[in-house]
Amino acid sequence: MRKHIVAGNWKMNNGLIQTETLISDLKQQVKTSDAEVMIAPAFTNLWHAFQSTRQDDIEVVAQNMHFAENGAYTGEVSPGMLKSIGVKTVILGHSERRAYYNETDESLAKKVDTALEHNMRIIFCFGEELADRKAGNEEAVVERQIKNALFHLGADAFKNIVLAYEPVWAIGTGETASPEQAQDMHAFIRKTLESTYGHTVADDMTILYGGSVKPGNAKEIFGKPDVDGGLIGGASLNAEDFYAIVNAF
């Protein structure tokens, strides 16, 4: 069944004290929508965040992980480590990781496989750059990113995958894709899924939009039929703004 999800990607923000404060602010907020709420703090704060939200309707998710189980990968964190502290969902393929840490469709395919072997849910991010959109190549880029990293999977695997379309030109820029641009791309993504995996996989897939979602534009974007939620950066660092977005459904 397709779900509504609003996930806050905190990126490299908030130390321990700020994490505590933001989580306690989030707990003051009232959820009036049916959206699942997730937050993705930095690795150092995952355990604390997990403990502090145990009784709450907030899932703590990781921003990244390595594709290996363990070994000589200095500075990396494995899926087993995440699972050992209770984290069940991981964001993979964020454009910042693709741009600054050389993540490729191929390395992401490996991460996807390891996460699924660990029964983890994946929020898989992808999206075109401004030059792609200006050249009219946005659909081709998105299709390639999805197919290269995910289309080796069987249909069943998609039950553990959430897709997050984040056009790079809209991330942290204040320039949001228009609701129509988001809808058009989400419909295209669903059609791409349907052509290989059939109607049920496509129809059940939760597809999030990310890129400068704010309290002022969330309702309009979430109002589109193929937009099932959001992956929120900047606005997720403020509890009131974040819940204004959660409650936009």
Q: Considering beta carbons, is residue 79 or 234 the nearer one to ligand 13P?
A: 234
Is residue 167 involved in binding ligand 13P (CB under 6 A)?
Answer: no
- The site for ligand 13P, by CB under 6 A, has a size of 14
Q: Is residue 166 a contact point for ligand 13P (CB under 6 A)?
A: yes
- 53 close to 8: Cβ distance less than 8 angstroms: no
The single residue of 4, 66, 94, 186 carrying the catalytic annotation is 94
233 is a site residue for ligand 13P (CB under 6 A):
yes
Helices (H) and strands (E) in the chain, counts: 11, 8
H or E element at residue 197: helix 179-197
The end-to-end CA distance of the chain, in Å, is 17
Name the one range near ligand 13P by CB under 6 A: 52-60, 111-119, 198-206, 232-240. 232-240
* 94 carries an active-site annotation: yes
The correct pick among 6, 9, 19, 201 for binding ligand 13P (CB under 6 A) is 9
Stretch that binds ligand 13P, among 137-145, 183-191, 192-200, 211-219 (CB under 6 A): 211-219
Smallest separation, CB 215 to ligand 13P (Å)? 12
CB-closest chain residue to ligand 13P: 233
Alpha helix ranges (H) inside 29-119: 46-52, 79-84, 95-100, 105-117
181 is an interface residue for ligand 13P by CB under 6 A: no
Helix (H) or strand (E) holding 131: helix 130-134
DSSP state of 43: G
- Residue 138 falls in the annotated catalytic set: no
Question: Where in 101-160 is the site for ligand 13P (CB under 6 A)?
Answer: none
Q: Which of 27, 16, 40 is nearest to 88 (CA)?
A: 40
Q: How far is the CB of 232 from ligand 13P (least distance, A)?
A: 5
Pairing of strands 36-40, 58-60: parallel
Residue 129 in contact with residue 173, Cβ under 8 Å? no
Q: Does 213 bind ligand 13P (CB under 6 A)?
A: yes
Minimum separation from the CB atom of position 164 to ligand 13P (A): 7
Exposure on the CB side of residue 29, measured as CA atoms within 13 A: 22
- The stretch near ligand 13P (CB under 6 A) out of 70-78, 98-106, 182-190, 226-234 is 226-234
The rounded distance, in Å, linking the Cα atoms of 40 and 26 is 13
Angle at 181 between CA 91 and CA 93, to 5 degrees: 15
For ligand 13P, the binding residues (CB under 6 A) are 9, 94, 166, 171-172, 210-213, 231-235
Q: Which residues carry out catalysis? A: 94, 166
